[in-house]
Amino acid sequence: MTASLSWPLPALLVWALAWGFFLASVRLGLHPLAALLLACAGGVLSSLLAPNWWRRALVAAGFPLSLAFSGLVGLHPTVWLLPLALLLLVYPLNAWRDAPLFPTPRNGLRGLGQGVPLGVGSSVLEAGCGLGDGLIALRQVYPEATLHGLEWSWPLRWLCALRCPWARVRRGDIWCADWSGYRMVYLFQRPESMGRAQAKAAAELAPGAWLVSLEFPVPGLQPDLALQGDRGRPVWGYQVPFRQNTAAL
């Protein structure tokens, strides 16, 4: 979660803070159910900072599970479905086939503006914008572009809009949305998603538009741009119409 804390210290810290908040809230007269929901909400939001899905699950589930096993409060068994519902709000099931939350490093797209110059007002989409880290990185390299974010999870979409008020952020499925109006589509997805992204971009993006991926290349395509971004993470760019990688044939 933070570079200065080694696992599992971040999880232990979140659990301890959730317990402290819960106990203090109940002692101050807040209903246990309300205290439970607020403490769980803090744990789920903190889990967004964890680097992979299983650590996020542990951070989010640690407090409610430990409270359930403690027997400290006598709540109806169905109450324990509420933390699960909260988790599913932030991480909808249909989004898990993509990247639940892969934040783009702040300088992860360094050099992209020189490699792919775009005109003033060009529309750029981050497909799956999460908390907005990719939009922030895009703004660094394209300060005069019109930036758009698309995110399925409505809590993440709301938080992204708060962090990036200069971008047009909306809720939607990146695979159902129309990409045809964008000069560039940027994504940081799973390797398994890249073939699907290539097919959608080839079908919808106009000639001359770009598909840009952080870290994961599109199998079988010849990149028109290859950069080394932050911490050596590669940035791959493909211009429509795409070129097949003849070396891989």
Q: How confident is the model at residue 76 (pLDDT cuts 50, 70, 90)?
A: low
Instruction: State the average pLDDT over residues 46-74.
Output: 69
Whether residue 91 contacts residue 64, with contact meaning beta carbons closer than 8 Å, is answered with no
The answer to whether the pTM exceeds 0.95 is no
Does residue 185 register a pLDDT over 50?
A: yes
Site of tokens 């971008």: 167
Counting beta carbons within 10 angstroms of the beta carbon of residue 40, is it exposed (0 to 12), middle (13 to 18) or buried (19 or more)?
buried
What is the C-alpha separation between 229 and 161, in angstroms, rounded?
25
Coil vs helix vs strand at 106? coil
Contact residues for 78 (Cβ-Cβ < 8 A; gap 6+): none
Q: How confident is the model at residue 1 (pLDDT cuts 50, 70, 90)?
A: very low
Q: Which CATH architecture has domain 112-248?
A: 3-Layer(aba) Sandwich (3.40)
Q: How confident is the model at residue 106 (pLDDT cuts 50, 70, 90)?
A: confident
Q: How confident is the model at residue 46 (pLDDT cuts 50, 70, 90)?
A: confident
Nearest to 11 by CA among 86, 66, 89: 66
Q: Where are the domains of the chain?
A: 9-91, 112-248
Counting beta carbons within 10 angstroms of the beta carbon of residue 175, is it exposed (0 to 12), middle (13 to 18) or buried (19 or more)?
middle
State residue 123's pLDDT score: 98
